[in-house]
Structure 1
Amino acid sequence: MKKAYLYFSIIFLLMLILTGCSINSAKGDDDIITLRWVTYDNGSIPLDAKEVIAKANKVSAEKIGVKVDLEFQPSEKINLMMASGEYYDMVFTSSWLNSFDKNAAAGCYLDITELVQRETPALYDTIGKYWDCAKLEDRIYGVPTLKDMGAEEMFRLNADYFEGQKGMTIPEEMTFDELEPFLETYKNDYPDKYPLAMDKSGVPGYLNCVERIVDGIIVIPYDCDDEAVKAIPFWECDELVNKYRTLHRWYSKGYIHPDAATIQSTAADISIPVRGGVAWRGYKGYSNPDQWGFNVKTSIYEGPYLSRSSEQGALFAICAACPEEKAVACLKYLELLNTDQKFRDILAYGIEGTHFEYLDNGTILRLPAGNDRYHTGLYQTGSAVSASVESVSRTILADPDQWKLVYEGYVEDGIYSRAGGFAYDPVNNEDIITAVRAVYSDYSTELCTGTSDPDKVIPEIKKRMEAAGIDELLDDINSQLQVWESQAK
């Protein structure tokens, strides 16, 4: 009897060992916290999102007892959620979509200052000095996404044509105006074509040469020589106005499509030999000849610029109404994303073997299913720095230490805004901001595409904005800037 009892006991223990994972998982189902996480859809929802999220949830449930219902939502839906007070646990926010400063100041986001340091010290240490861009009045209201924190603008040129056929040299760096000989050369060869890709958004990153306090309307130039930091209307920024003048000259010479101000996108026309781009040194994503039909070389013309707005390229904020248990779960999930590369790669690239594979040098390569069914921007689901680096192909390999080099470059070559950390509180002038934005919208598309002559339309803009109260707005911004600067010292 004792032998039989011992036999069945051993069998039972073996069953526990063999099925332990499923038993523990089932037992812990009630303890697993599920979060509603809303991120920006970037125009589409990846087809295999459900399968990828399920894969990630299996890992995060086991490691930290947290799962997510990850929603990819358009900007309009996210803005509506903020306005209506709809509940979520975490949400995508930034300087350019779902305004972080505006919503944090309005009380939409949870103050996590003490919580993040107490509950997730590894996350706190990982973000480091970049917490500043998530602070209002020295309190933390969001978790920055570590990515290209500085903006570097570049031109992407058809190397087969310019270097191979025409014998020109594409330099690693050039000024904005120095692109003109390349445009002129192509136009001479193809009079009926337009060499510079341009849609209604303008050249990508054209406003990154200034710190934007109110859109591209009120700015702080990086190259300001004044002792005091000062916000100015864009028409007083020589660098920006000269860029508009250059674009108009190119438009007048036929380098830019005459309908650029109404074109939604030029992505489908891969024959265009010159495009703008915003990336970082060492980025290989623009270099795939299979994508463009020709070899591409890039030439940096600005940056890297680092400012509050550039560092706020992507953050995740926790709802102010979130109970502490769920807030801690949000932070632990973000900590896992920032410290566990294999886990981060799931939401970044999909399922290994289906959507991507690891290459021998430590980078990843997207597979056809990854390109077609799960191709997201890294910023949509977490830090780029904590994910494996993507190679363009098996022969065009990226540097697995790319981000280390990028961040070292910020220290060595970064151009830092003197107003980094300043956040304007618009509460007293929201009506004026609405009015000047309405004026700006009548001109901005034609300015940034070169369609309008800035020397003719800027006087009109100035007159209308002055009537709308821009001088009062400037006084308020600069008053707050003076207070901020005195406190920063």
Structure 2
Amino acid sequence: MLRKFINRIVAVFFAISLSVFMLTGCEATRKNDDSIVLRWVTYQASDVPLDIKEVVEAANAVSKEKIGVTVNLEFQPSDKLNLMMASGEYYDMVFTSSWVNPFDKGATAGLYRDVTDLVKTETPALYDYVDPFWEAGTVNGRIYGIPLLKDMGAEEMFRINSDYFEGKKGMVIPERMNFEDIEPFLKAYKEDFPGRYPLDMTKGGIPGYMNSVERVVQTLVVLPFGEGHEASNVIPFYECDQLMDRFRLLHKWYKAGYIHPDAATIESTTSDKSIPVRFGVAWKGYQGYSNPENWGFNVKTSIYEGPFLSRSSEQGAMISICAACDDEHTKACLKYLELLSTDKRFRDILAYGIEGKHFEYLENGTVLRTDTGLSRYNTALYQTGASAAASVESVSRTFLADPDQWKGVFEEYKTDGIYSAINGFAYDQARKEDIIAALNAIYSDYKTELITGTSDPDKVLPVIKKRMEEAGMKELVEDVRQQLREWEKLNHE
């Protein structure tokens, strides 16, 4: 254990030393006409936008004039981000989150710059904008990441063909329902179309199927919402009744013929417009699921749980600054993020592209992407800044969004949000990384069939439990509980 700890420290020291070396070597290329040039690496969710160079140039013209800072924006896939972190390759700002380039892992390894004091003194408007979500970017009371405000909580919903169920069947689609309440809809459709499968399901399972619990260690160790912050409430995922009941219900629906028999191997169903019930993860007022032009019929959404707010959900998109960044460039990063968060017109450039070419402003204050924008600069908002700082997008001229959508979202979090009891706790996974790797390998053997309803959980889960306990699950859980007890003493006494 001591040798592993020493090796880890040496690796971090080497990475930071290499970064400092690269910083010195690249200094000449990071100054341009008295402006500071930042290397900003973000996550590549799909293809790199074709017009990225043109859009960044337009954004740089604005940021150079306003704050004397420009960026070289790179889109990189998750494996490249992981390699950058491991090798110590220099960057100024990098995309990090709970699901890509894991923030807690990088922050606890010392890869990110502590900006606790600078963000308050140099960019108070940025600090006020992110508040009260700074805990997501905090480890041991220090800020290492800037959360990008978006859907900070997870709301799970059904997307339902209202033309069929309400128009033809006379059924009522409520704004909210319980998960199991969709069963009569599935049954009605199956009776009318015995050869079809009414519930959309691919090998990925239900989108966000773990959002109803706090993922303390990936999907392996969880804390059910509604439980207190006591260490004893942290459990292996297979001991969570809520998750297990969900898997049992999916298997029931699978046997009833509501789920395609090959669901565990299906990559995508986007081309099949006949499926009447799909899943969604979004937020209050989101329109993307409901545009009839996309489906050929009207769609209504019905929320079945949430909004859940946890450390993992609030870390959905973040930006961290390299630990090797000097004060000048750290301040430049913060100034740039402050501008992105507080200047909507500037934010819209990186969000949607160039006005008149990639998007236009509509009379109600929302934006509409053009055909050129959809084909040449169709990025996800979180890739280039806070989603909530950009103008809201309408899906068509006749299907207009609410320009104040995000105000409603964050008000809902205050009134109806379901919060994790251990928000702010970050488990140091490096302590048991070998066990975690072994447990993930075991889970991957069963995951796809389990989350698609293909397997009977009452037969599979005992096997998973036995194998995982042999691989060290109990040791991992106890280590998590020990760290949590230490955290509780500091935060709840």
Q: TM-score, normalised by structure 1?
A: 0.92
Q: State the alpha-carbon separation in 1 of the partners of residues 168 and 373 from structure 2.
A: 35
- The alpha-carbon distance between structure 1 residues 360 and 226, as it changes in their structure 2 partners (threshold 3 A), is closer
* Structure-to-structure mapping, 1:56-75, within 5 angstroms: 56-75=59-78
* Structure-to-structure mapping, 1:254-293, within 5 angstroms: 254-293=257-296
Note if 1:427 corresponds to 2:448.
no
Cross-structure match for 2:482: 479
Q: State the alpha-carbon separation in 2 of the partners of residues 243 and 449 from structure 1.
A: 11
Note if 1:246 corresponds to 2:266.
no
- Does structure 2 retain, via aligned residues, the 8 Å contact 1:150–1:414? yes
SS in 1 for 2:117: helix
Q: State the alpha-carbon separation in 2 of the partners of residues 455 and 136 from structure 1.
A: 38
- Does structure 1 retain, via aligned residues, the 8 Å contact 2:229–2:422? no
Deviation of 1:227 (Å): 6.0
SS in 2 for 1:88: coil
Cross-structure match for 2:102: 99
Q: 1:463 aligns with which of 463, 466, 471?
A: 466
Unpaired segments ≥5 residues, structure 2 = 1-30
Deviation of 1:264 (Å): 1.9
Q: State the alpha-carbon separation in 1 of the partners of residues 363 and 254 from structure 2.
A: 47
Q: 1:89 aligns with which of 68, 88, 92?
A: 92
Deviation of 1:328 (Å): 1.1
Cross-structure match for 1:371: 374
Q: State the alpha-carbon separation in 1 of the partners of residues 459 and 32 from structure 2.
A: 66
Cross-structure match for 1:38: 41
Q: State the alpha-carbon separation in 1 of the partners of residues 241 and 70 from structure 2.
A: 50
Note if 1:450 corresponds to 2:453.
yes
Deviation of 1:229 (Å): 6.0
* Structure-to-structure mapping, 1:29-428, within 5 angstroms: 29-224=32-227, 230-428=233-431
Deviation of 1:228 (Å): 5.7
- The alpha-carbon distance between structure 1 residues 337 and 309, as it changes in their structure 2 partners (threshold 3 A), is same
How many equivalent pairs are there?
A: 462
Q: State the alpha-carbon separation in 2 of the partners of residues 383 and 310 from structure 1.
A: 14
SS in 1 for 2:42: strand
- Does structure 2 retain, via aligned residues, the 8 Å contact 1:136–1:423? yes
Cross-structure match for 1:21: none
- The alpha-carbon distance between structure 1 residues 250 and 159, as it changes in their structure 2 partners (threshold 3 A), is same
- Does structure 1 retain, via aligned residues, the 8 Å contact 2:217–2:429? no
Letter in structure 1 aligned against 2:265: T
Deviation of 1:129 (Å): 1.4
- Does structure 1 retain, via aligned residues, the 8 Å contact 2:158–2:302? yes
Deviation of 1:486 (Å): 2.1
- The alpha-carbon distance between structure 1 residues 444 and 361, as it changes in their structure 2 partners (threshold 3 A), is same
Q: State the alpha-carbon separation in 1 of the partners of residues 319 and 182 from structure 2.
A: 37
- The alpha-carbon distance between structure 1 residues 229 and 307, as it changes in their structure 2 partners (threshold 3 A), is farther
Unpaired segments ≥5 residues, structure 1 = 1-27
SS in 2 for 1:113: coil
Greater Cα offset, 107-116 or 227-236: 227-236
Q: TM-score, normalised by structure 2?
A: 0.92
Deviation of 1:182 (Å): 1.1
Q: State the alpha-carbon separation in 2 of the partners of residues 443 and 233 from structure 1.
A: 15
Q: State the alpha-carbon separation in 2 of the partners of residues 34 and 293 from structure 1.
A: 47
Alpha-carbon RMSD: 1.3
Letter in structure 2 aligned against 1:345: D
- Does structure 1 retain, via aligned residues, the 8 Å contact 2:366–2:393? yes
Deviation of 1:270 (Å): 2.5
- Does structure 2 retain, via aligned residues, the 8 Å contact 1:200–1:263? yes
Letter in structure 2 aligned against 1:461: I
Q: State the alpha-carbon separation in 2 of the partners of residues 442 and 364 from structure 1.
A: 45
Q: State the alpha-carbon separation in 2 of the partners of residues 64 and 110 from structure 1.
A: 21
- The alpha-carbon distance between structure 1 residues 145 and 67, as it changes in their structure 2 partners (threshold 3 A), is same
- Does structure 2 retain, via aligned residues, the 8 Å contact 1:229–1:481? no
- Does structure 2 retain, via aligned residues, the 8 Å contact 1:160–1:294? yes
- Does structure 2 retain, via aligned residues, the 8 Å contact 1:287–1:392? no
Deviation of 1:167 (Å): 1.2
Letter in structure 1 aligned against 2:88: G
Deviation readout 1:300-345 (Å, 9 max, x if unpaired): 0010000110000000011111222111111111000000000000
Letter in structure 1 aligned against 2:255: S
Deviation readout 1:366-394 (Å, 9 max, x if unpaired): 11112221111111111111111111212
Q: State the alpha-carbon separation in 2 of the partners of residues 264 and 64 from structure 1.
A: 45
Deviation readout 1:139-162 (Å, 9 max, x if unpaired): 000110000101000000111111
Greater Cα offset, 323-332 or 405-414: 323-332
SS in 2 for 1:328: helix
Identity over aligned pairs, percent: 66
- Does structure 1 retain, via aligned residues, the 8 Å contact 2:202–2:268? yes
- Does structure 2 retain, via aligned residues, the 8 Å contact 1:229–1:418? no
Letter in structure 1 aligned against 2:326: P
SS in 1 for 2:167: helix
